Amino acid sequence: DAGVIQSPRHEVTEMGQEVTLRCKPISGHNSLFWYRQTMMRGLELLIYFNNNVPIDDSGMPEDRFSAKMPNASFSTLKIQPSEPRDSAVYFCASISLAYTGELFFGEGSRLTVL
Amino acid sequence: AQSVTQLGSHVSVSEGALVLLRCNYSSSVPPYLFWYVQYPNQGLQLLLKYTTGATLVKGINGFEAEFKKSETSFHLTKPSAHMSDAAEYFCAVTQQGGADGLTFGKGTHLIIQP
């Protein structure tokens, strides 16, 4: 089975540009999480969805960040406008709530904002 | 609220020596506990997990961890380090079987000396 698929793997953009990160969770998983990883702050939970519904977005740093999950097989994380401090690795992870807690992670999207 | 503390951002051991990575957690209810490993430029991979039952859990690559409620600890060990064990290791906790995501520690970078 395919794992969690993220795209793009690498993104370099200039300050002020819009960035869209994409995630396809594992088929059958009903919860999806977006994490951000930086050297300074480690792994931070940004937002998560259960059955496509956003449950907790308290980790989203600012209004410049938004996330959607229009269906069970696709989610996006958008940053508009982007800033240099948004540079990080963004991970998507999914889980089946029928099982005991293991999150399956994608390979991550490395974002560099110049 | 839940939290994880990993003692030591960097741990260096000789090849063949014992590996001990420390993790202490805080949780108001019985936790589920995890260790993940991250190799350079990759996502996080589950090493092992504790949910209920036996407090000594075995994972992949020869790693094991013991849940000690009285010490609120979940330390990771491996009897004999291998060069391929060099990576970043994360301890994580959840209180709701993963439904609200995992809270991660800051990570420990394991260095293996030849």
Q: What is the pLDDT of residues B35-82, one digit of tens each?
A: 999 998 889 999 999 988 899 999 999 999 999 999 999 999 999 999
Q: How many CB atoms lie within 10 A of CB A63?
A: 7
Between B1 and B102, the more confident residue is B102
Continuous H helices in chain B:
none
Nearest by CB: A107 against B32, B43, B94: B43
Does residue B97 register a pLDDT over 70? no
Across A88-107, average pLDDT: 87
Residue B52 confidence (pLDDT): 85
Angle at A39 between CA A35 and CA A78, to 5 degrees: 35
A99/A113: higher pLDDT: A113
**Average pLDDT in chain A:** 93
B6 compared with B102, residue with greater pLDDT: B6
In a mutational test of the B interface, the residue from A100, A104, A110 whose CB has the highest number of chain B CBs within 10 Å is A100
Q: Which of A11-25, B18-32, B90-104 has the highest mean pLDDT?
A: A11-25
pLDDT > 90: percent of chain B:
77
For residue B100, is pLDDT > 90?
Answer: no
Are B100 and A105 a contacting pair at CB < 8 A? no
If you count residue pairs, one on A and one on B, with CB atoms under 8 Å apart, how many are there? 62
| Whether residue A88 has pLDDT greater than 80 | yes
- Check A108 against B32: CB less than 8 A apart: no
The rounded mean pLDDT for chain B is 92
Query: For an interface test with B, which of A34, A37, A91 has the most B Cβ atoms less than 10 Å from its Cβ?
Result: A37
Chain A neighbors of B6, CB-CB under 8 A:
none
In terms of average pLDDT, the best of A2-6, A11-15, B43-47, B49-53 is A11-15
Q: Is the predicted pLDDT of residue A99 greater than 70, yes or no?
A: no
Percent of residues, chain A, with pLDDT higher than 70: 96
Q: Tell me the nearest-neighbour CA distance from B37 into chain A, angstroms.
A: 11
Cβ-based burial of A46 (10 A; exposed 0-12, middle 13-18, buried ≥19): buried
B37: chain A residues, CB-CB within 8 Å: none
Contact partners, residue B53, CB within 8 Å, separation at least 6? none
Model confidence pLDDT, tens digit, residues A26-64: 999 989 999 999 988 899 999 999 999 999 999 998 899
Contact assignment for B42 to A108 by CB distance below 8 Å: yes
CA atoms within 13 A on the CB side of A94: 23
Task: Find chain A residues with C-beta within 8 A of B104's C-beta.
Answer: 42-43
Between vectors from CA A31 to CA A26 and to CA A33, what angle results, nearest 5°? 90
Q: CB-CB: which of A93, A100, A108 is closest to B97?
A: A100
Give the pLDDT score at A44: 92
- pLDDT over 90, % of chain A: 83
pLDDT at A1 over 70: no
Q: How many residues does chain B have?
A: 114
- Residue B34 contacts A where some CB pair is shorter than 8 Å: yes
User: How is residue B72 annotated by DSSP?
Assistant: T
Which pLDDT belongs to residue B11?
97
Q: Calculate how close chain B gets to A23, using CA atoms only, in Å.
A: 13
Q: Could you give the residue ranges of the DSSP H alpha helices within A1-114?
A: none
8 A C-beta contact, residue B2 and residue B27:
yes
A75-82 mean pLDDT? 97
A33–B99 CB contact, under 8 Å: no
